Every structure is written in C-alpha cells, then in structure tokens.
Amino acid sequence: MKPEKIPFDPARRQVMAILNVTPDSFYAESRMPDADAVERRVREAVAAGASVIDVGGYSSRPGADEVSPEEEWRRVERGVGAVRRLAPAMPVSVDTFRSEIVTRTVERFGEVIVNDISAGELDARMVPTVARLGLRYIAMHMKGDPKTMQSRTDYRRDIVTEVVDYFRVRCRRLEEAGIARERIILDPGFGFAKTLEQNYELLAGLHALCDLGYPVLAGLSRKSMIYRLLDVAPADSLAGTVALDWECLRQGASILRVHDVREAVDTVRLFEAFDRARQTRQTNL
C-alpha cells in the first residue's frame, strides 16, 4: 500500500529543501554529485522537517556552464528517484526551465511542482506544458539567462515596482494560458539580474509582491547578497540567511527555499509563535 502523499499548501509557511544534483552549484556543501550523496541529502532533509524537496540538475549560479538536456535529465531522474524511493509521500519540485524535463519527470514519477527560474521566458513550451499537466508552477523573476543575467541589472524604475509590474502582466498571461491562479507561486529572484543594492531594495519591498495575492517563495539561502556584504564565504552565511528569512516571513512570504533545513524549520516555528503572540496582543488592546 502506497503511503498517502503529504499535501502541499503554498499558503502555509513551510521549508523547501534544496537538492542540487550538480557538481558546480555556488555553495560547495550543496553539491550532490553521486547517488550516495543524493540519498544522504534526502534523508537529512526529511529528518530535519522539510515540507518539499526541490531537485535541480542545472546550476543557475551566475555564469554557469550550459548543461545538455540529456545530462540535466540524468541528474533530475537521480534526484527525484531518490526522493520517491526514500520519502514517497514527500512533495517534490523540479528546478528547471526546460519543458521536456518536466514532461519526462511527470511521465516517469507522476505529479511534481515546477520551479522555473525564467517564468516560462526561456522555453516557449513550458507554460503550455504546465497548463496541460495541471501542475503547480513557481515563476521567478530574471532577465536573460544564468550566463548573461548579471550584465542585465538595468531597471528603468525602482526594482520593486518593476518586479511587481512584471508579475502582474506575467501572471495574467499564465492564467490566460490555462494555469489556474491558485497553482501559481511567485519568486522575486534574489540574486538573479540584481546588484547587491537592488537585492536589498527588493527585500525591503517584498510586501508589495505579497500583496498581489499569490504565495511568495523566498530563495536567498547563503547567496552573494549575504556573503559579499558580510565579506565572508557562502559557508559562513547561515546566520545572515536566518536573519533575512525572518524578514521575508514578516513581510508575507510563505515558502523558504534553503540549504539548511533544520535552521529554517526552527525559524518558521519561532516566527509563528511570535506572530500568534502579536495577533493576540493586538486583539486584546
């Protein structure tokens, strides 16, 4: 008898564990180049309390090398296969901008969540594929692609306004293409086509994105906006990640995409206790 799948509720605060089946992700400790490392990561993420595991086979760090579709599929198949085998009830998302990877994953493993760094801009077949399969869709803001994005940090207006306006238009097109509104999740794309200063401007205005009414995913775990500002290595960026994750929750984000699952789960639990106390106090005033 198959275990009942854990429901994925993007409106509930939760933690998405990063599973990089890659040899070149920016944070060395997150690289899972072989089957044993992948399985170890899955077990650790489940034990630490992850709500969903995000499998990626194509590093999206700035300047990342091109990965062929076949190689990306080989990595994604290994990662999703490990989750399905070791934690069959666990929701899985696939971090890809290629529709063929989505199709092959669904054919092989069944329903998954699609986590697309390009919001469908890099593959014209992505949005129709997601709509046809009825999948949840995480749309991220980025300009260009991983090789070119850091040369495309010019914005005509302030970055918060541009990102929010982008998603107003993009979400309307996603819905017109057949993706149900309740299946769309937004990711502001911290670190993607943004300077260090722009990342913090975007963080300061994250509530404006949350006000659009879609669940918001915050993915800033150990990113350069933390370690460059603090003049440390990604390996020394955990405290900064926790601090900024709290701020994302405070402004309304519901999903934290992280390398360090236990710490993020604790952050969510602490924030929810604080939020309950705050609401009680406001009610009693």
CA distance 90 to 52: 6
Q: Are 202 and 216 in contact (CB under 8 A)?
A: no
Q: List alpha helices for the chain, DSSP H.
A: 35-48, 69-86, 99-109, 126-133, 159-176, 196-204, 206-210, 224-230, 238-251, 261-284
Known catalytic membership, residue 2: no
CA atoms within 13 A on the CB side of 191: 19
Partners of 20 in the β-ladder = 31, 56
Provide the terminal-to-terminal Cα distance of the chain, rounded to the nearest Å: 52
The DSSP secondary-structure symbol of 31 reads B
**Residue 223 is among the residues annotated as catalytic for this protein:** yes
- Euclidean distance between CA atoms 227 and 230, whole angstroms: 5
Sheet with strand 14-20: strands edge to edge: 184-187, 137-140, 113-116, 92-95, 52-56, 14-20, 255-258, 217-218
Catalytic member of 61, 136, 223, 281: 223
Q: What's the rounded Cα separation, in Å, for the pair 65 and 87?
A: 31
Q: Note whether 252 and 210 are within 8 A (CB).
A: yes
Task: Give 67's contacts (C-beta < 8 A, 6+ positions apart).
Answer: 57, 58, 59
Q: Which residues are marked as active site? A: 223, 257
